[in-house]
Amino acid sequence: MKKKRILVTGGAGYIGSHTIVDLIESGYEVVSADNFHNARPETFAGIRAITGVEVKNYAIDLADSRAAAAMFAREEFDGAIHFAAYKLVGESVEKPLAYFRNNLNSLLNVMEGLRSQGSSNLVFSSSCSVYGNARELPVTEATPRQEAESPYARTKQMGEDIIFDFCRANPYCRATILRYFNPAGAHESGKIGEDPANSPSNLVPVITAVAAGKLEKLTVFGDDYPTRDGSCVRDYIHVMDLARAHTLALRHMLEDKVPNNPEVFNLGIGEGLTVLEVIDAFERVSGVKLNYEIGPRRPGDVVAVYADRTRAAIELGWTPERGVEDIMATAWAWEKQLGKG
């Protein structure tokens, strides 16, 4: 039986690369599209070392409609997982037009390319940021979306709306929207992990960079939030658990006769940890004391958000297998491996 052929946009990125590994190990053929805006070509060597497979990559800007159309004219896909997007909350506040232009145009071009092939089967990388400052916790898929706290979050809200509108107009369309929380950790092999081409901004890679001496100190943005220790609360999920959920969501569309109305799933552990609790967890696992300071609140940050993952468990059969200690152990092992390069 011929392998299903899947396009992974942003395939050299953090979540994209780990998902490619899970897809290959699950029997899919993968083609990537990544222009290395915030990723490194060396990531594909890590994927090859883990899977034994050389992944074909199109180093194109998917926001460029001509480049995207040319790729779709050369390749045929059974489905796509769309990760490619700018994702820095603070940067989006400073450069909103760049985020709208890139994140929305790339999505439109991928959807247009799938339509040109008479197919859909799109998994969209969304975010818990679409909930804004939710009025109840944990959030479920039915929790009303609040006002976006950043242009980045608004691009995710708008992306979801575009997908819903497109599927209403096209009966053949099948799409799954995955709202995930805070990915962290690395592949257990130590061969791939979070290695942005630009300076790290997410909490866990900043923690490991400080512990490794690459950064002088960590800033905790705010200690006066209405939480148990004053720092923001987030739901941290291991990247390989998250990768697995993408494979299961894709399989759900390809093998089950799902309706064309897009399905939405929260992906998180279901527990909220404060920033200070995450720091403490790293120090326990690594034995390294972190140099950190308390700074002012950061524009665009929500106070607290964590998931109710019941629906993903029931409909996708997805259950996270790793906790915060696994996240910290694999992230630290990956950071130390980077130091040998």
243-254 pLDDT, tens digit per residue, is 999 999 999 998
The answer to whether the CB of 174 falls within 8 A of the CB of 120 is: yes
Q: What is the pLDDT of residue 259?
A: 67
Q: What is the pLDDT of residue 171?
A: 84
Summarize pLDDT for 66-78 with one digit per residue, the tens. 999 999 999 999 9
Summarize pLDDT for 205-237 with one digit per residue, the tens. 999 999 999 999 999 999 999 999 999 999 999
The answer to whether the CB of 268 falls within 8 A of the CB of 237 is: yes
Summarize pLDDT for 305-328 with one digit per residue, the tens. 889 999 999 999 999 999 999 999
Tokens matching residue 297: 């609140």
If phi > 0 it is left, if psi is from -120 to 50 it is alpha, else beta; for residue 256 that is beta
Q: What is the pLDDT of residue 124?
A: 98
Q: What is the pLDDT of residue 302?
A: 82
Q: What is the pLDDT of residue 118?
A: 83
Q: Is the pTM of this model over 0.85?
A: yes
45-49, 139-143, 254-258 — which one is most confidently predicted on average? Answer: 45-49
Q: Is the pLDDT of residue 261 over 60?
A: yes
Q: What is the pLDDT of residue 337?
A: 85
Confidence of residue 167 (pLDDT cuts 50, 70, 90): very high
Q: What is the pLDDT of residue 40?
A: 93
Catalytic residue numbers read 152
Sole residue written with tokens 């002012």: 296
Q: What is the pLDDT of residue 341?
A: 45
